[in-house]
Chain A
């Protein structure tokens, strides 16, 4: 109908309703993140009592704003984000089978119902690897024979995702606490040291024993090939040699209101990220990088993006925002300053978040402006405590 719908947007309604193709539409729906509506990417489970699942990047970006499960509003914490490898594996298989099944359905619809059932559906466009095995698919109308990926193909798809869990996420059974400054989560035994060190990256202080600490520092240098954190005096660090994303550890956030622009520039240049712009823009870029970097680690190692890919994505997103801002503010003559000015609000929010707050302090709605917001709260979550999407598997 209009231009911007012409782009292909895969959606659960690509599948017929249950009466025609039982379960497929719901399957495609439950495998989608409720934040972005895409098939889960690096799916993770949060620590609400429902175990709600989101794309890692979606929920981490949301948690830069609010430590709350978007679906049930329970308080959640980044430290308890867990990979969901089984969902990731299911998606690996579903991404293979989705176009295949859609094609089958299309062919079923276009072929006359009188087609002899013993004759298999033609599948020229399906890669031969997918059509090795024949299987009977029980169908409500007839028993057409269709070709589906056999177990070996499934296994192949599944093997692509290594289910090995990174040790950093499971090794510590000690109670975790969140740094009130940088919000990085860590075990209790190192928090004081971390604070004394002005929120230095954890890897350098992960272990309280001096001997192990040395090993850890070496590990850091091996990964990043540079002792930049030791040479704090230098104005600018060189880009570090590209680290192996398969072995990377999650990065800590920074307390943006307590560090200087120079410090943020240093950190950015270590990852070969642009360092132009003033503090608000730098802080926004750094936070986004950290979020993308950490989300990427929630994908199985074989599915992870390279740093180069992450950088490209970051640039694209900054460009998109620039475009949008330009449209809003001035049609011409947009320079870095405009971008920074626009980032100031976001920056103020970042600073606000970084401030230590007692956990019980939740924004309470004041009565002065608007007397009775509780009515809205009831409406928003009227039927149950969960916010549900309105679509469901309705009839067409």
Chain B
């Protein structure tokens, strides 16, 4: 591992100055993050374009989840967590002191690694939860929003007769689609997904992957994944992270077929990870 670490110092492109990318839906600029004294992210910069899927790949513990959680200000909820740098949403820094993190989380939805529907709520209430908990009005009736959201995640036909049953009464794959429906019911602008398929079987995974590709019609999607085939199947852009640094970022085709960095190449060909 020491040789890899040395290589990454010599081959990493310098990212001292970051320009604001006016085409980006979201943009991270020189993001550093810590848990206590331990620095997890080191000056990571990346932009997320609208109507695209951006995949974040890298070995376990390299800081993918931490980075993702900076995009909706979830990182700061962990005791001792710290973050420096900027993350822009439509060109505005979401870490600006005048901005309420709660507002950001409504605009930037999140899907977690393990499906986490609310166990005390029915399937219907789980989808409606975002609107009820935040008091957001969409101008449409709740029934309509619930139906449309479940249809979007192709779950409607499977659960339409069981809407009153607890959200935890369905299969893992269905629960994960329910959680996606819960996120999109709020009509966010960006959806963050942290290894949404890692707890699912191949069939459920295929459904979620198809869904991710459909979601980019409406949203910008950022997805963390351990599965390189998945990244190449669903994403338009891929970011490779290693030990808290962004090693390479580019169009998915380029990253997988013609990586510029030796570390990226080694990771993609499975030499380490």
Asked whether A and B interact, the reply is no
A-side residues, CB < 8 A to B, are none
B-side residues, CB < 8 A to A, are none
